[in-house]
Structure 1
Amino acid sequence: MSKINYSTEQRNSLLSFLSENPDKMFSAKQVELALSGKEISKSAIYRNLAELESEGKIKRCSKPGSRESFYQFFDCNSCRTHIHLSCQKCGKIFHLDEAAAENLVTALEKNTGFEVSRGESTLVGICKSCGEKK
């Protein structure tokens, strides 16, 4: 039996917020604060985050050194085929250049036989902007 997908105002507000910020990851608490004026309950946020994740519209991950889950909009074709770069300082997400990603994937597969799932891969480090602020 398939699950009925209800489109509610709360769900639409959440999805709209995430889709307007595809290069960032948010904790549930950050989403709650960002949507505080939209009359969306905490339980609706958590429920909808779980549903959107199971539908493949957002992805959940954790940052190094944190047990907290973070969510990012993922319902676009470009995200599904790119390796992502995540800045530990500012939290911004970038797509790795396609040529650089191809070189990296080819080298990994050649040296290890490991097949990389591009859309699910995130490299963590410090972005150029944050690195220049030292």
Structure 2
Amino acid sequence: MQNGYKTKSRSYIMEFFTAHKEQIVSAADIHHYLEENGKQVNLATIYRNLDKMTDEGILLKYKTAKDEHAVYQYTDGHPECHEHLHLQCVRCGRVIHLECGFMKDIRAHLEEHHGFALECSSSVLYGMCRECKEMESGSHEKNHE
């Protein structure tokens, strides 16, 4: 799947994604990171590379619910990203891949009972990851002492 032309800009963008594997990010996030690290890549070039990488299956592209901006997720190590839901922590931004047999049950239920065919590649459920919940409950316990 990875058959794109290798440019310096593309390699910078890939460096970013390999360092942020479990996050969903915007083009602006990438641009800001590259600028902070002394790597000058204009925003149009970033968008062009993101589109190519999405077409090649390297990235998934989502629209945010709040403002309809595009955000991207690296699919490294998760070749079935198009077949499962993604869970994103609203506190730390971490993305969890719901890679379990439960996905078949969810899809079957939605189809059978609601006549709905789930499109997983653009589906993100928002909530709080275990680590953030534990941190939050630990801080609440301290506040109640």
TM range (shorter): 0.7 to 0.9
**Residues of 1 paired with 2:92 and 2:64: CA distance?**
12
Counterpart for residue 48 of structure 2: 47
The TM-score, its normalising length taken from structure 1, stands at 0.78
1:31-65 alpha-carbon deviations (Å, 9 max, x no partner): 01222222323332122122222333212213332
The TM-score, its normalising length taken from structure 2, stands at 0.73
Residue pair 1:87, 1:127 contacting (<8 A) in 2 also: yes
**Residues of 2 paired with 1:54 and 1:99: CA distance?**
27
Counterpart for residue 14 of structure 1: 13
- What is the alpha-carbon root mean square deviation over aligned residues? 2.4
Counterpart for residue 114 of structure 1: 116
Residue pair 1:74, 1:80 contacting (<8 A) in 2 also: no
One-letter amino acid of the counterpart of residue 9, structure 1: K
**Residues of 2 paired with 1:28 and 1:121: CA distance?**
19
Unaligned segments of structure 2, at least 5 residues: 138-145
Structure 1 window deviating more from structure 2 (114-123 vs 90-99): it is 114-123
- Structure 1 residues 126 and 64: alpha-carbon distance in aligned structure 2, compared to 1, 3 A threshold: farther
Residue pair 1:60, 1:71 contacting (<8 A) in 2 also: yes
Summarize the alignment of residues 45-124 of structure 1 with structure 2, pairs less than 5 Å apart: 45-74=46-75, 76-124=78-126
One-letter amino acid of the counterpart of residue 58, structure 2: K
* Shift, 1:92, TM fit: 1.3
* Shift, 1:72, TM fit: 1.0
Q: Give the % identical residues.
A: 29
Instruction: Say which one has the larger Rg.
Output: 2
Q: Report the count of equivalent residues.
A: 131
One-letter amino acid of the counterpart of residue 41, structure 1: N
One-letter amino acid of the counterpart of residue 112, structure 1: H
Counterpart for residue 141 of structure 2: none
* Shift, 1:82, TM fit: 2.3
* Shift, 1:12, TM fit: 1.4
Counterpart for residue 142 of structure 2: none
**Residues of 2 paired with 1:123 and 1:59: CA distance?**
15
